[in-house]
Amino acid sequence: MEKFTLLIETTDAKGLVYNVSKVLFEHGLNIDKNSEYVDSEENKFFMRTVISGEFNEAKLLKDIKGLLPQNHIIKLKPQTCKDIVLLVTKESHVLGDILIRYVSGELNANIKAVVSNHDHLRTLVEKFDIPYHFVDTKDLAREEHEQKLINQIDVYNPEIIVLAKYMRILTSKFVGYYEGKVLNIHHSFLPAFIGANPYKQAHSRGVKIIGATAHYVTNDLDEGPIIFQDITRVDHTYSWQDMRNAGRNVEKVVLSNALQLLLDDKVLTYSNKTVIL
Amino acid sequence: MEKFTLLIETTDAKGLVYNVSKVLFEHGLNIDKNSEYVDSEENKFFMRTVISGEFNEAKLLKDIKGLLPQNHIIKLKPQTCKDIVLLVTKESHVLGDILIRYVSGELNANIKAVVSNHDHLRTLVEKFDIPYHFVDTKDLAREEHEQKLINQIDVYNPEIIVLAKYMRILTSKFVGYYEGKVLNIHHSFLPAFIGANPYKQAHSRGVKIIGATAHYVTNDLDEGPIIFQDITRVDHTYSWQDMRNAGRNVEKVVLSNALQLLLDDKVLTYSNKTVIL
Amino acid sequence: MEKFTLLIETTDAKGLVYNVSKVLFEHGLNIDKNSEYVDSEENKFFMRTVISGEFNEAKLLKDIKGLLPQNHIIKLKPQTCKDIVLLVTKESHVLGDILIRYVSGELNANIKAVVSNHDHLRTLVEKFDIPYHFVDTKDLAREEHEQKLINQIDVYNPEIIVLAKYMRILTSKFVGYYEGKVLNIHHSFLPAFIGANPYKQAHSRGVKIIGATAHYVTNDLDEGPIIFQDITRVDHTYSWQDMRNAGRNVEKVVLSNALQLLLDDKVLTYSNKTVIL
Amino acid sequence: MEKFTLLIETTDAKGLVYNVSKVLFEHGLNIDKNSEYVDSEENKFFMRTVISGEFNEAKLLKDIKGLLPQNHIIKLKPQTCKDIVLLVTKESHVLGDILIRYVSGELNANIKAVVSNHDHLRTLVEKFDIPYHFVDTKDLAREEHEQKLINQIDVYNPEIIVLAKYMRILTSKFVGYYEGKVLNIHHSFLPAFIGANPYKQAHSRGVKIIGATAHYVTNDLDEGPIIFQDITRVDHTYSWQDMRNAGRNVEKVVLSNALQLLLDDKVLTYSNKTVIL
**Dihedrals phi, psi of B254, to nearest 5 degrees:** -70, -45
Whether A14 and A89 map to the same domain: the answer is no
Query: What is the DSSP track for D196-260?
Result: S-HHHHHHHHT-SEEEEEEEE--SSTT-SPEEEEEEEE--TT--HHHHHHHHHHHHHHHHHHHHH
What is the percent of chain A with per-residue pLDDT over 70, rounded to a whole number? 96
To the nearest whole angstrom, how far is the Cα of A105 from the nearest Cα of chain C?
Answer: 10
Same domain, yes or no: C106 and C60:
no
Asked if A237 is an interface residue toward chain B (Cβ–Cβ < 8 A), one would say no
Q: Which of C32, C83, C222, C242 is catalytic?
A: C222
Give one DSSP letter per residue of D28-91, joined into a string.
T-EEEEEEEEEETTTTEEEEEEEEES---HHHHHHHHHTTS-SSEEEEEEESSPEEEEEEE-S-
Reply yes or no: is the peptide bond before residue C191 cis, omega within 30 of 0: yes
CB contact (8 A) between residue A104 and residue C93: yes
Is A100–C92 a contact, with Cβ atoms under 8 angstroms apart? yes
Q: For chain B, give the number of residues.
A: 277
Contact call for residues B49 and B25 (beta carbons, < 8 A) = no
In the prediction, which pLDDT does A124 show? Answer: 96
Q: What is the mean pLDDT of residues D85-97?
A: 96
Q: Return the pLDDT at C97.
A: 95
* Residue D15 in contact with partner chain C when CB distance is under 8 A: yes
Q: What is the mean pLDDT of residues B191-200?
A: 74
- Going through chain B in order, the beta strands assigned E by DSSP cover 3-11, 30-39, 44-52, 72-78, 82-88, 109-116, 132-134, 160-163, 182-189, 209-216, 226-233, 267-270, 273-276
Q: Residue B77 in contact with residue B263, Cβ under 8 Å? A: no
Q: With CA atoms as reference, report the closest residue to A247 among A88, A93, A120.
A: A93
**Domain endpoint, select from C59, C78, C97:** C78
Which residues on D lie below 8 Å from C25 (Cβ)?
Answer: 14-15, 18
Instruction: Name the nearest CA neighbour of A216 among A205, A230, A227.
Output: A227
- The contacts of residue B29 (CB under 8 Å, 6+ apart) are B51, B52, B53, B55, B60
Inter-chain touch B15–A21, beta carbons under 8 Å: yes
The answer for residues whose C-beta is within 8 angstroms of residue B256's C-beta and 6 or more apart is B97, B98, B101, D249
DSSP conformational letter for D118:
S
Determine the pLDDT at residue D30.
85
Q: Which domain holds residue D29?
A: 3-78
> C130-152 burial by CB neighbour count: b if 16+ within 10 A, else e?
bebbebeeeeeeeeebbbbbbeb
Query: Could you give the percent of chain C with pLDDT greater than 90?
Result: 74
Show residues of chain D in contact with B248, CB under 8 Å. 106
Sheet strands (E) in C40-136: 44-52, 72-78, 82-88, 109-116, 132-134
Distance between CA atoms of residues B261 and B263, nearest Å:
6
Residues B53 and B99 occupy one common structural domain: no
pLDDT surpasses 80 at B223 = no
> At a CB cut-off of 8 Å and minimum separation 6, what does A53 contact?
A1, A27, A28, A29, A30
A17 inside 8 A of chain B by CB: yes
Share above pLDDT 70 across residues of chain B, in percent, rounded to a whole number = 96
* Residues A71 and A164 placed together within one structural domain of the fold: no
For position C221, what pLDDT does the model report? 60
Note whether C49 and C5 are within 8 A (CB). yes
Please give the average per-residue pLDDT across C28-54, as a whole number: 89
Q: A35 and B36: CB-CB below 8 Å?
A: yes
Q: Supply the mean pLDDT for chain C.
A: 92
**What does the pLDDT read at residue D214?**
95
Task: Report whether pLDDT(D126) > 60.
Answer: yes
Rounded Cα distance, C9 and C65, in Å: 11
Q: Do C69 and C118 sit in the same domain of this protein?
A: no
At B190 the pLDDT is: 56
Cis peptide before A191 (omega within 30 of 0): yes
> So what's the pLDDT on residue B202?
85
* Single-letter amino acid code for the residue at D255: L
pLDDT tens for residues B43-88? 999 999 999 999 999 999 999 999 999 889 999 999 999 999 999 9
Q: Cβ separation of A15 and B36 shorter than 8 Å?
A: no
**Residues ≥6 apart with Cβ < 8 Å to D165:** D88, D89, D90, D91, D93, D94, D95, D185, D251
Q: How far apart are CA C156 and CA B52, in angstroms?
A: 71
Mean pLDDT of all residues in A232-257: 93
Mean pLDDT value across chain A: 92
Residue of C nearest to B41 (CA): C239
C-beta separation of D237 from A197 below 8 A: no
| Residue B197 pLDDT level (bands cut at 50, 70, 90) | confident
Among D39, D132, D129, D41, CA closest to D85: D132
pLDDT for B273 equals: 93
Distance of CA C164 to the CA centre of its chain: 11
Instruction: Give residue-wise pLDDT tens across range C213-248.
Output: 999 998 766 679 999 999 999 999 999 999 999 999
List CB contacts (< 8 A) between C192 and chain B: 190-192
Contact between chains at D34 and C36 (C-beta distance less than 8 A) = yes
Are B98 and B212 found together in one domain? yes
Please say if the pLDDT value at position B147 is more than 90: yes
Three-state helix/strand/coil letters over B215-249? EECCCCCCCCCEEEEEEEECCCCCCHHHHHHHHHH
What residues contact B129, with CB distance under 8 A and at least 6 apart? none
Are D236 and A191 an interchain contact pair (Cβ–Cβ within 8 Å)?
no
Which of residues B56, B78, B100 is at a domain's end? B78
Beta strands in B53-147 (DSSP E): 72-78, 82-88, 109-116, 132-134
Q: How does DSSP classify residue C92?
A: -
Average pLDDT for B190-209: 79
Assess whether B222 carries a catalytic annotation.
yes
What is the residue-averaged pLDDT of chain D?
Answer: 92
Lowest mean pLDDT among A48-57, D33-42, D126-135, D193-202: D193-202
D260 lies in the same domain as D124: yes
- Give the nearest chain B residue to D96 (CA atoms): B100
On the question of pLDDT at A138 being above 60, the answer is yes
Pick the range with the lowest mean pLDDT from A100-104, B36-40, C195-199: C195-199
Any idea how long chain D is?
A: 277
pLDDT the model gives residue A18:
85
Same domain, A65 and A170: no
State yes or no: pLDDT of A187 exceeds 80: yes
For the cut 60, the answer to whether the pLDDT of residue D2 exceeds it is: yes
Beta strands in A117-201 (DSSP E): 132-134, 160-163, 182-189
Alpha-carbon gap, residue A244 to A202, rounded angstroms: 10
- Please list, in sequence order, all residues whose beta carbon lies within 8 angstroms of the beta carbon of residue A204, skipping any fewer than 6 positions away: A240, D271, D272, D273
Share of chain A above pLDDT 90, in %: 77
What is the rounded average pLDDT of the residues D10-17?
Answer: 87
Which band of pLDDT confidence, cut at 50, 70 and 90, is reported for residue B13?
Answer: confident
Contact A182, A175 (CB under 8 A): yes
Same domain, residue pair B33 and B154: no
> Which sign, positive or negative, has the C-alpha torsion D234, D235, D237, D241?
positive
pLDDT band at C109 (very low <50, low <70, confident <90, very high): very high
pLDDT tens sequence across C243-265: 999 999 999 999 999 999 999 99
Q: Using CA atoms, how far apart are residues C248 and A79, in angstroms rounded to an integer?
A: 23
Query: A130 and A108, same structural domain?
Result: yes
Partner D contacted by B127 (CB < 8 A): yes
pLDDT bracket for residue D9 (50, 70, 90): very high
Q: Is A253 on the interface with D (CB under 8 A)?
A: no
Dihedral, CA atoms, D111, D116, D121, D125, nearest 10 degrees? 20
Alpha carbons A251 and A166: distance in angstroms, whole number: 13
Q: How far is CA C132 from CA A124, C89, C97, in A?
A: 19, 12, 17
CATH code at position A211: 3.40.50.170
| CA atoms of D245 and B104, how far apart (whole Å) | 12
Long-range CB contacts (within 8 A, 24+) of D56-59 = D56/D27, D59/D27
Pick the last residue of a domain from C25, C58, C78.
Answer: C78
pLDDT cut 70: percent of chain D above it: 96
Instruction: Check pLDDT > 90 for residue D184.
Output: yes
Crossing angle of the two packed helices A16-26 and B16-26, in degrees rounded to 10: 140
CA dihedral C248, C249, C254, C255 (to 10 degrees): 60
- Residue B193 pLDDT more than 80? no
> Is C128 in the A-facing interface, judged by CB distances under 8 Å?
yes
C-alpha distance from B94 to closest chain D C-alpha (Å): 10
Residue A34: CATH number of its domain: 3.30.70.260
pLDDT for the residue numbered A82: 97
Does C18 sit within 8 Å of D18, measured CB to CB?
Answer: yes
How far apart are the C-alpha atoms of D166 and D88, rounded to whole Å? Answer: 4
pLDDT at C167: 92
More confident site: C117 or B191 = C117
Return d(Cα B194, Cα B197) in angstroms, integer.
Answer: 8
Across all residues in chain B, what is the average pLDDT? 92
Residue B261's pLDDT is 96
pLDDT tier for residue D223 given thresholds of 50, 70 and 90: confident
Q: Examine the domain organization and report whether C18 and C44 are in the same domain.
A: yes
Say yes or no to pLDDT of C190 above 60.
Answer: no
Confidence of residue C189 (pLDDT cuts 50, 70, 90): low
Structural domains of chain C, count: 2
Asked whether the predicted pLDDT for residue A91 surpasses 90, the reply is yes
pLDDT over threshold 90, residue D180: yes
pLDDT for D79 beyond 80: yes
pLDDT confidence band for D190 (50 / 70 / 90): low
Cβ atoms of residues D131 and D158 within 8 Å: no
Give residue D159's pLDDT. Answer: 97
| Strand partners for D30 | D52
- The answer to whether residue C184 scores a pLDDT higher than 90 is yes
Claim to verify: residue B22 and residue B149 sit in the same structural domain? no
| pLDDT above 70: residue B221 | no
Residue A66: predicted pLDDT? 94
Closest residue in C to A246 (Cα–Cα): C257
Q: How confident is the model at residue A21 (pLDDT cuts 50, 70, 90)?
A: confident
Predicted local confidence at residue A204, as pLDDT: 87
